[in-house]
Amino acid sequence: MTDSSKTVNTFTPTVEAIETSRRNFLKFGASGAAAVTLSGVLPGMAAQALAQPAVIDAHTPKAGERRIRLTVNGVAQELNVATNAILLDVLRDRLQLTGTKKGCDHGQCGACTLLVNGVAINSCLSIAVQHDGDAITTIEGLAQNGTLHPVQEAFWEHDAYQCGYCTSGQIMSAVAILQDPAIGRDDASVREAMSGNICRCGAYKNILAAVQSARGKMARVG
Amino acid sequence: MSEQLIGTAMRRIDGRQKVTGAAKYAADHPLPGMLYAYGVYSTVASGKIVRIDDQAAKAMPGVVTVLHHGNLPTLHRTPNAPLNVKEILHASRVDEHRLPFEDDGVYYPGQFVALVVANTFEQARAAAHKVKVEYQAKDAVRSLAQGLKTKGARDGGRGHKRGDPNAEVGTQRIDVTYTTPVEVHNPMEMHATTAWWEDGRLYVYESSQGVLNHRNLLANVFDLPPERVEVRAPFIGSGFGSKLWPWPHAIAACAAAKVTGKPVQLVLPRAQMFTTVGHRPDTIQRMRMATDANGKLVSIRHESFNSTSTLDPYTEACGVVTKNLYSCPNVLVSHSIAAVNRGTPTSMRAPGAAPGLFALESAIDEMALAVGMDPLKFRQLNLSTTDESVQLPWSSNHLPEAINTAAERFGWHQRDPRVGAMREGDELIGYGMGACNWDAFQVPAEARVTLRSDGSALVQCAVQDVGTGTYTIVAQTVAQLTGLPVDKIEVELGSSAFPPGPVSGGSWVTSSIMPALAGATRQALERLRGYAVAASGPFADGDVQALTIEGGALVNGEQRVSFADVLKSQKLARAEGRFQSGMPVNPTHSFRSFGAHFVEVRWDPGISRLRVARVVSAIDVGKVVNPLAGRNQVEGAIVMGLGMALFEAGEFDPRSGLPANNNYAEYVVPVHADMPEIEVILLDYPDYNLNEFGARGMGEIGVTGLAAAVANAVYHATGKRIRSLPITKEKLMA
Ligand code: FES
Ligand code: FES
């Protein structure tokens, strides 16, 4: 439970958009401009994406399944998923990436927010097989070699949570918003843009403070 | 003792886990071979199950079993005893006593009627939709009003009477009725269970505010010695009361794990968070008040009615604050309940006080207007100086100062008392205030503190951190008493295998565990001193009493030996202390926490937009152990209070009694965009009558009184007195 390590903000964006993912931008309704800008925030994936994928399932897909390849937090994975499987459930149940949370399963709360090719989406609304070839960043992929992302660091410093259950989603949305030139820098714009992420604990004041303070740190680094 | 850590704003020791996704909640344990369970829930509000056809479901790929009342092995109920806080470490409570699948009856909509268990979540969910349930529907009691009319009201207890409340005294009187709707806790984390059996033992990860109570309950249900059950909740996606006492899903998941012999995970869908895990019931509260010619209260009658389920009696004790917040010789408080076909209600953040203070603090405002006084002055004139309901002095009550401090920060003196007289642009501005109030308790708790030869300390207690910062407060307390740095304190909470701790509720965790931690730490230090003066110890044959504690070391004059070196000198790994603290016996004081909210609302009549622009609150909760986490608690409670004031209402179809808005889009809770400016002032007067640290607890108080402050401000802006929550624009336009 203890953690006293001081974290220095050495966050460096490393990635360009990944070729195979382009075709999905339109499919999921995100604007190309936003996606290109946002891709700068995806931590270290391009290099690993080209490496041999980790094969989760060796066997050929069964009836009702499809074989897909996902690059998750820079690691390529190949697995068979049911055609009705949801991206959120595949990440949590199959890849054991339980940092992304389920708060409603209906796109109403934002707890499941993650980045697909740099675009923030509600992963509970996304069918997994539609993401074949996509690059996904979850909360587990933000810190680099133990160094927290500036948004993570700011959430910790500002006590921008209580129970922590909405936190992954809040952080992923904040990362996307801070990179999105279409979203204003003032408090009202940030509040508006973050309104898809419910915090039932009501830590909104501290979340806003964290997002605004991370903005400064990300700007200095970038 | 060295550095003052208690009272210091400190970021949380579990923060890294929370911001990296490493914190593990109840459904974050994908175990090898784990099965997934998905419920089938009743689609009628009242009736009987005639037939369950699970053939199609069973034929679906991956389906392992379908459980229902016809095939579930026998389970046992837990004793139906009211909560006794003295015995809280032995509690095995539920609010809904009926076991899942106990019979073929349907008592409320959304009741578990079957459970599908399959190899994957997708398979379980798909198969659950194929289970066909045939009901014989009965006419349901669909609303509180209907329940009162058809079945009548029952006494809900917790009343109070003094003087002659029925006498027609006073010169100014009001007689008004307030209503509050069903509210749903809706913690972000849906209730979830991951359960498995191993060698006749049951292991459970549960989203629980009380692992010990949960363990004791499961032991009763499955007829096991409690030692053979372990319940863990290292992290909880909050609960606000809905996770205090176990609900049917938790038992159903453990039963499914037993039947299948495999680990089983069950996550409630959000829709069922509205039906089968409790809610705050709706209330009707008649409030009669009278003052003398000088504006002094002479009579208060607060009669409250709330809905409960047909299965269990539940009282929302709305009048508990009415009996003692204000000085008044003639007081009546009563609670009545009426059964409707809904799931059993349960405690929701500040149960009783939250809806009760909406009525009381609205009525106080109406009374002040009736006598022509400023609402602030009217309160100051009438505040109690002792607890007149039990005739004891307040342990520590700084409400007058809270009101004045917050009023000054808020700018109350700029308030033009005339309705609708303040405006800016298109917006009418209203200022309103309301007092807030909540209990202060200390309940039994036990902790173990182990000083270790690697220079660290391990602290364990079966209490939970539900998001309030308990992990950090524990570390601060032990660090302060030992002088060890906070990062050398390892804290383990949320397992029933640890020394017993209370449920996380009632705002009593901090005030209850700090004395237990202090006792355990002192006992460990006593042991260590004993080792230090032993024949081969570093202070051999020295005076034990002369050894002081400084910065993780024992010190006598010039000589200073770290805890670790004392242990090593004796070739020991650890010095352990374990201590159980109790609760105040024959208290000579009445313990409560106090505060005041000041609210600015803005109403734009042109576009019918109501918003809360500003909240300033001053809170007197005794010593604040960690102001960073503490202020966050009050701010969060204010946010929930805003939801209560403006948005939240669980709705039910008047024809069928089925929930009508059981999702996060239609049951509206505050989001980022709804946020006003919030300023919280923590008065920080230690209450040493309660415990040696003077801490009272602060999780709930902030939600009380806020809705009334909003309603009072709305009246000031618009001249419309809204006596039924939530305050929607429809009500303002009516
Ligand atoms: S779980 Fe996806 S938005 Fe709520
Ligand atoms: S921290 Fe609990 S929901 Fe946001």
CATH number at residue B492: 3.30.365.10
Classified as helix, coil or strand, B330 is strand
Report chain B residues whose CB lies below 8 A from the CB of A164. 14, 17-18, 23, 235, 237, 467
Q: Which helix (H) or strand (E) holds B218?
A: helix B211-221
The alpha carbon of B512 is separated from its chain's Cα centroid by a whole number of angstroms, namely: 15
pLDDT, tens digit, 9 for 90 and up, residues B537-584: 999 989 999 999 999 999 999 999 999 999 999 999 999 999 999 998
The minimum CA-CA distance between B43 and chain A, rounded to whole Å, is: 20
Ligand nearest the Cα atom of residue A168: 2
Contact A206 B632 (CB under 8 A): yes
Q: Say yes or no: B558 and B637 in one domain.
A: no
Q: Quick check: is B462 in a domain?
A: yes
Residue B352 is given by DSSP the state: T
- Indicate which atom in ligand 1 lies nearest the CA of residue A108: 3
Distance B597 CA to ligand 1 centre (A): 33
Q: What is the pLDDT of residue B82?
A: 87
Residue range B292-321: average pLDDT? 98
Q: Quick check: is B317 in a domain?
A: no
Best mutation site among B209, B238, B466, B640 for ligand 2, i.e. most ligand atoms within 8 A of its Cβ?
Answer: B238
Classified as helix, coil or strand, B476 is helix
Nearest to B707 by CA among B304, B380, B354, B285: B354
Q: What is the pLDDT of residue B376?
A: 98
Q: How many folded domains does chain B comprise?
A: 3
Residue of minimum CA distance from atom 4 in ligand 2: A199
Dihedral sign (CA B360, B365, B370, B375): positive
CA distance B562 to B551: 8
Distance B206 CA to ligand 1 centre (A): 21
Report chain B residues whose CB lies below 8 A from the CB of A198. 188, 664, 669, 671
Q: What is the pLDDT of residue A12?
A: 28
Report chain A residues whose CB lies below 8 A from the CB of B127. none
Report the range of poorest mean pLDDT among B150-154, B521-525, B599-603.
Answer: B150-154
Q: Quick check: is B609 in a domain?
A: yes
Q: Quick check: is B464 in a domain?
A: yes
Chain A interface test: which of B28, B63, B122, B188 (most A C-beta within 10 Å): B188
Minimal-distance CA residue of chain A relative to B119: A93
CA distance B104 to B83: 29
Q: What is the pLDDT of residue A38?
A: 35
Cα distances from B81 to residues A177, B122, B315, B590, B676, in angstroms, run 51, 40, 15, 26, 43
pLDDT, tens digit, 9 for 90 and up, residues A71-117: 999 999 999 999 999 999 999 999 999 999 999 999 999 999 999 99
Contact A200 B669 (CB under 8 A): yes
Cα distances from B487 to residues A18, B563, B693, in angstroms, run 41, 16, 22
- pLDDT band per the 50, 70, 90 thresholds, residue A33: very low
Identify the domain boundary among B233, B257, B274. B274
Q: Quick check: is B344 in a domain?
A: no
Residue B165 is given by DSSP the state: T
Establish whether residue A112 lines the binding site of ligand 1, counting it when its CB lies within 6 angstroms of any ligand atom: yes
Distance B154 CA to ligand 2 centre (A): 38
CA distance B507 to B354: 14
Length of chain B (residues): 734
Identify the domain boundary among B581, B597, B612. B581
Distance A94 CA to ligand 1 centre (A): 18
| Domain region containing B492 | 15-20+443-581
Is the ipTM reported for this complex over the cut 0.90?
yes
Best mutation site among A86, A91, A98, A108 for ligand 1, i.e. most ligand atoms within 8 A of its Cβ?
Answer: A108
pLDDT, tens digit, 9 for 90 and up, residues B38-89: 999 999 999 999 999 999 999 999 999 999 999 998 999 999 888 899 999 9
Q: Say yes or no: B549 and B450 in one domain.
A: yes
Tokens representing B129 are 């939709």
CA distance B266 to B561: 52
Residue range B264-276: average pLDDT? 98
CA distance B1 to B480: 6
Distance B544 CA to ligand 1 centre (A): 59
Domain A28-222 homologous superfamily, CATH? Beta-grasp domain (3.10.20.30)
Report chain B residues whose CB lies below 8 A from the CB of A85. 120, 122
Bridge partners, B601 (sequence order):
B430, B612
Tokens representing B245 are 């006492």
- pLDDT band per the 50, 70, 90 thresholds, residue B380: very high
Q: What is the pLDDT of residue A59?
A: 87
Q: What is the pLDDT of residue B585?
A: 83
Do you find a cis peptide bond into B726, omega within 30 degrees of 0? yes
Q: Say yes or no: B637 and B702 in one domain.
A: yes
Tally of CB atoms within 10 A around A147: 17
- Indicate which atom in ligand 2 lies nearest the CA of residue A207: 4
Residue range B230-254: average pLDDT? 98
pTM of the model: 0.94
pLDDT, tens digit, 9 for 90 and up, residues B423-463: 999 999 999 999 999 999 999 999 999 999 999 999 999 99
Mean pLDDT score of chain B, rounded to an integer?
97
Contact B18 A208 (CB under 8 A): no
Report chain A residues whose CB lies below 8 A from the CB of B461. none
Contact A1 B491 (CB under 8 A): yes
Q: State residue B621 phi and psi, 5-degree precision.
A: -120, 25
pLDDT, tens digit, 9 for 90 and up, residues A124-146: 999 999 999 999 999 999 999 99
Tokens representing B60 are 């679906």
CA distance B619 to B642: 17
- pLDDT band per the 50, 70, 90 thresholds, residue B3: low
Q: Say yes or no: B619 and B659 in one domain.
A: yes
CA distance B140 to B157: 26
State the count of interchain CB pairs (< 8 A) between A and B: 210
Mean pLDDT score of chain A, rounded to an integer?
81
B198 given a catalytic annotation: no
Is residue B362 pLDDT above 50, yes or no? yes
Q: Say yes or no: B635 and B538 in one domain.
A: no
Q: Which helix (H) or strand (E) holds B360?
A: helix B353-371
Classified as helix, coil or strand, B664 is coil
Smallest Cβ–Cβ distance between B30 and the set A93, A167, A204 belongs to: A93
* Interfacial B residues in 461-480 facing A (CB < 8 Å): 466-469, 471, 475
Contact B485 A109 (CB under 8 A): no
pLDDT, tens digit, 9 for 90 and up, residues A35-44: 333 333 344 3
Q: Quick check: is B170 in a domain?
A: no
Distance B354 CA to ligand 1 centre (A): 29
Report the range of poorest mean pLDDT among A51-55, A200-204, B206-210, B596-600.
Answer: A51-55
Q: Say yes or no: B557 and B640 in one domain.
A: no
- pLDDT band per the 50, 70, 90 thresholds, residue A8: very low
Bridge partners, B47 (sequence order):
B106, B137
CA distance B634 to B615: 12
Q: Say yes or no: B471 and B538 in one domain.
A: yes
Q: Say yes or no: B562 and B605 in one domain.
A: no
Smallest Cβ–Cβ distance between A89 and the set B18, B121, B673 belongs to: B121
Q: Say yes or no: B554 and B656 in one domain.
A: no
Q: Say yes or no: B555 and B618 in one domain.
A: no
Contact B190 A102 (CB under 8 A): yes
Q: Say yes or no: B711 and B621 in one domain.
A: yes
Q: What is the pLDDT of residue A17?
A: 29
Establish whether residue A110 lines the binding site of ligand 1, counting it when its CB lies within 6 angstroms of any ligand atom: yes
Identify the domain boundary among B556, B581, B606. B581
pLDDT, tens digit, 9 for 90 and up, residues B640-679: 999 999 999 999 999 999 999 999 999 999 999 999 999 9
Q: Say yes or no: B653 and B671 in one domain.
A: yes
pLDDT, tens digit, 9 for 90 and up, residues A140-180: 999 999 999 999 999 999 999 999 999 999 999 999 999 99
